[in-house]
Amino acid sequence: MHRLFGLRLLHQLVNQNRRRVVVTGIGLVTPLSVGTNSTWNRLIAGECAVDRITAFDASRFPIQIAAEVPRSSWGDLGPCRKINCKKLQDEEFFDATRILGFSEDDKKKTPEFIQFALAASKEALEDANWFPVDATSLERTGVAVGAGITSIPDIIEANRLIESSERGYRRVSPFFVPRILTNMAAGYISMKYGFQGPNHSVSTACATGSHSIGDAFRMVRDGDADVMIAGGSEACIHEVSLVGFSRAKALASSYNDSPQRASRPFDKDREGFVIGEGAGILVLEELNHAVARKAKIYAQVEGYGLSGDAHHITAPRSDGHGAWLAMKRALDMSGLSPLDIDYVNAHATSTPLGDEIENTAIRRLLSLHCGKERNGPSRNGRHPPDVLAVSSTKGAIGHLLGSAGAVEAAFTVLSIFYQTIPPTLNLDCLPSEEFDLDYVPEKAKECRIRAALNNSFGFGGTNASLLFTEPNI
């Protein structure tokens, strides 16, 4: 108790002069829908976006399912694409012409991960009502957007041209290299809106989106910018990536005939993840700056923890120490106690090893919660959950790889804003007694969320955890 009090006092002394950072805008392009409101509504309703692959003929592969962003070019998908799904409205399909004003030539020249990032950024900026024109504001607004995997079709096409004839190399586009650089999404956003603050990009596999948001948070907190557009984007559902992950035995392989049952985080029958795509963008803003312009404030960013497993190129440590360390560092930065955390938006990808290890790390860090009933003050008639709530939204949207952390950070922020926890789909049976938390199976849970952790872990042993709270204005 004395140590906890001392840590809180130290945190207050260290942070009393630090700038506070809030979320004022959200933009989403996901397999459920294009747009934040429609995605959130479908997520909370328990809909699932996993289906048989549309982008190419996957019939010759052992795995034939994915969570694709719905595209207008597909035509009418009908009402049965998702569980309990109402027919998608026109505005819920991705259409770069409608959303971005792109010509057919623009679409060909711009890789899809950049298109997704531009669309999500546009929505986030409109949500935040932030379109500065004065020089100071433009110089104080930056971008931190990354991607986990580059544009695979561009690499395949360049190689095809080179191999097509002795002089085939001359047909390779002079823009080939810029098209495959993962920082180009950030570059395009910066150029489109004239933002001259930090222009930053990371590529840390499935932790990319979280690292981008966390780094942007630090830039605002430390005074490098007043506003940051931060997140991740991914568009790599392709024969090569499907085969690569399949050969690594990372994907769910038994659900080609029942794709909506494939992604099942924490369930005893989980067997691998479902590859997905999309983009998530948050507008992060210094609190006083946001208040001065009367911006809508969704939540506050209070913590950011990073760690490395130093263990294996794909597998996490069996004791979950890396995940524990990332969450602990985020918690320590915030100055909160484990009992202040009401919800964890888990990385849980539906793999046998990863979900179990993350659960171990969560229970270790937040052990005061486990199996303990708690009472806390209500807000708008809603109390904090009696037992720590943990859910994974990957049952609904699959694993979005480099954009997963950003999209799930947006879900975490929306959970705080709407006081509603998204469900974990396909959780029919917990695997052991070690899974003793509230994993919010199948149905969304309405409750007060004072503070929430959002986890993302990537190949190479890279871990990130973000901590969001109710706005403290």
- Give the Cα separation of 154 and 160 in Å (integer): 10
> pLDDT class for 386, splitting at 50, 70, 90?
confident
Contact by Cβ (8 Å): 234, 113: yes
Burial of 239 (0-12, 13-18, 19+ CB in 10 A): middle
What's the whole-number mean pLDDT along residues 39-60?
96
**Does 6 map to a domain?**
no
- Give the Cα separation of 261 and 100 in Å (integer): 34
Report pTM.
0.93
427: nearest Cα among 440, 445, 436, 408: 440
| The pLDDT of residue 12 is above 90 | no
Per the structure, how many domains does the chain have? Answer: 1
| Residue 113, phi-psi category: left (phi > 0), alpha (psi -120 to 50), beta (remainder) | alpha
pLDDT at 473 (0 to 100): 60
**Does 3 map to a domain?**
no
**Does 8 map to a domain?**
no
Q: What are phi and psi of 158, to 5 degrees?
A: -60, -40
Domain that holds residue 79: 21-469
**Does 14 map to a domain?**
no
| The pLDDT of residue 85 is above 60 | no
**Does 443 map to a domain?**
yes
> pLDDT class for 18, splitting at 50, 70, 90?
confident
Provide the percentage of residues in the chain whose pLDDT is more than 70. 92
> pLDDT class for 80, splitting at 50, 70, 90?
very low
Both structure tokens of 131:
């379109």
pLDDT, tens digit, 9 for 90 and up, residues 345-364: 999 999 999 999 999 999 99
pLDDT, tens digit, 9 for 90 and up, residues 413-430: 999 999 999 999 999 999
pLDDT, tens digit, 9 for 90 and up, residues 388-412: 999 999 999 999 999 999 999 999 9
**Does 5 map to a domain?**
no
pLDDT at 11 (0 to 100): 56
Contact by Cβ (8 Å): 38, 416: no
Q: What is the CATH number of the domain that holds 459?
A: 3.40.47.10
**Chain-centroid distance, C-alpha 61:** 28
Coil vs helix vs strand at 304: strand
**Does 366 map to a domain?**
yes
What's the whole-number mean pLDDT along residues 31-38?
97
| The pLDDT of residue 376 is above 80 | no
Give the catalytic positions in this structure: 206, 347, 399
**Does 225 map to a domain?**
yes
What's the whole-number mean pLDDT along residues 175-190?
96
**Residues 6+ away with beta carbon under 8 Å from 165:** none
**Residues 6+ away with beta carbon under 8 Å from 214:** 304, 306, 464, 466
DSSP one-letter string for 384-441: PPSS-EEE-THHHH-B-GGGHHHHHHHHHHHHHHHTEEPPBTT--S-SSTT--SB--B
Angstrom distances, CA of residue 471 to CA of 8, 64, 332, 378, 468: 19, 43, 18, 15, 9
What's the whole-number mean pLDDT along residues 99-114?
96
pLDDT at 73 (0 to 100): 78
> pLDDT class for 83, splitting at 50, 70, 90?
very low
Q: What are phi and psi of 130, to 5 degrees?
A: -125, 95
> pLDDT class for 84, splitting at 50, 70, 90?
very low
